[in-house]
Chain A
Amino acid sequence: MSEVSVTKDAGGPESATDKLVVLDNINKHFGALHVLQDIDLTIARGEVVVVIGPSGSGKSTLCRTINRLETVDSGSITIDGRPLPAEGKELAKHRADVGMVFQSFNLFAHKTVLENVTLGQIKVRKADKQAAEEKARALLDRVGVGNQADKYPAQLSGGQQQRVAIARALAMDPKVMLFDEPTSALDPEMINEVLEVMQQLARDGMTMVVVTHEMGFARSAANRVVFMADGRIVEEATPEQFFSNPRSDRAKDFLSKILHH
């Protein structure tokens, strides 16, 4: 478990009532498997929500529905007051506003690190090449890989690749960032460098949805913990409440398994 401590912004997100992401009664099936069952979730602007739960509980799927990498069978998803559009140009525009970081990094293998970060700005935001590069270099510095700009992704360590992936998402100036198990594919010694970048983002007030197994991160950076099991949201609470005094048996069982060794 990584122990990256941070003092939370006391008044911020709790006082913000502005709803940025609203999931209303989401249902989704994978064949016979009912992977998301009546999911209601509202995320306020500036809030950091950590989704935890056993594998197969639907937390990654939930994360991916927010930018429609997974379609839903029923229910509505609204981001910043606008409902999620169907496939097409509108959806592409919408996705540009939602940053996504994947478990397997998914950096463009045929592009350099710098190009990975400028590509979206130039092709999607139609930014000027010079400006895009300046911004990309600033972001790469911010995540601590500024000196790797001209390398290809395969030449970087996992931790470095994931930080580039975060920079790539940030380059689009997203309204919300989705993290789908960002540290699960990393060697233990590289987990912290990625979590630190995420902590910094959280401190800077970025709205974040983080699917993770890093309880240390959940404890220190989350405003709210969402516990999922078997396709349902079983429990929602502040990290203090959740980790010290979980209400549901399912959560107690889960925590006893992961915290006691």
Chain B
Amino acid sequence: MNVLLDNLALFREGFLGTLWLTIVSALLAVVLGLVIAGFRVSPVPPLRIFGTLWVNVLRNTPLTLLFLVAFFVVPKVLFPGINSFVLAVCACGFYTSSFVAEAVRSGINTVPMGQAEAARAIGMTFTQTMRIVVLPQATRTVVPPLSSIFIALTKNTAIAGAFDNVDLFNVSKTLSNDGYDIAVIFIWITLGYLVITYAINGLFRLLENRLEVAR
């Protein structure tokens, strides 16, 4: 009768699946997002074009479509036998990286031009200028939109549940097939998502406060 207690192990597996997908995709998205944002403001035209293409293609494609490509094209054409977790992380991570890149770029634009000029004038390379002078000052502006992006990512990972990954959404399907009351399943599943999204919320609030003290 009790969905949660009867299937505690499955729920835990689903929760950890969603958590793990979110964390790994978020890390990938941040790394890629920083690089792509750098490309978009770089003095080298081919890099700028690549960055713009990356953002526009990934941001404007439905995530489900990316998953279809990742699961039905990539294994056939490029990497046969690649595991479904890696594919899901790539789809979510690449997709989210385009949003991260734009958030970072908006942060970069808030740093006065003179800061980068001064850095270049003492002989810093483009990468040094970004890493040492511009990005640290952009961080404060980037943190609030990033928390929204990661919360969206958490919910987007549900699509991975439909593609052969065990996560909360996948668990809900399994249990509903087993005949449990769908409304009760959803309450517990929702709670699982809320735990993660509120954790992200809190983490970023902490980060914001920390950054405020620093200046």
**Which A residues fall within an 8 A CB radius of B?**
67, 69, 87, 89, 92-100, 102, 104-110, 119-120, 123-124, 152, 165, 168-169, 172
New A-B contacts (5) at CB < 8 Å, excluding given A123-B124, A124-B122, A124-B124: A93-B123, A102-B118, A106-B118, A109-B115, A168-B122
**Which B residues fall within an 8 A CB radius of A?**
43-44, 112, 114-115, 117-125, 128, 132-133, 136-137, 214-215
Residue of B nearest to A108 (CB): B133
Beyond A123-B128, A123-B132, whether A106 also contacts B115 by CB under 8 A is: yes
Beyond A108-B133, A119-B132, whether A124 also contacts B114 by CB under 8 A is: no
Tell whether, in the assembled complex, residue A69 and residue B124 are in contact, meaning their CB atoms are under 8 Å apart: no
Residue of A nearest to B136 (CB): A110
Beyond A89-B125, A104-B114, whether A110 also contacts B215 by CB under 8 A is: yes
Residues of A within 8 A of B117 (CB): 69, 102, 106
Tell whether, in the assembled complex, residue B124 and residue A108 are in contact, meaning their CB atoms are under 8 Å apart: no
Measured CA separation A93–B123 after assembly (Å): 6
CB distance from A226 to the nearest CB of B (A): 21
CB distance from B114 to the nearest CB of A (A): 4
Residue of B nearest to A117 (CB): B122
CB distance from A70 to the nearest CB of B (A): 10
Residues of A within 8 A of B124 (CB): 92, 120, 123-124
Measured CA separation A93–B125 after assembly (Å): 9
Tell whether, in the assembled complex, residue B115 and residue A120 are in contact, meaning their CB atoms are under 8 Å apart: no
Tell whether, in the assembled complex, residue A124 and residue B123 are in contact, meaning their CB atoms are under 8 Å apart: yes
Residue of A nearest to B139 (CB): A110
Beyond A106-B114, A108-B115, whether A95 also contacts B137 by CB under 8 A is: no
Tell whether, in the assembled complex, residue A92 and residue B115 are in contact, meaning their CB atoms are under 8 Å apart: no
Residue of B nearest to A123 (CB): B128
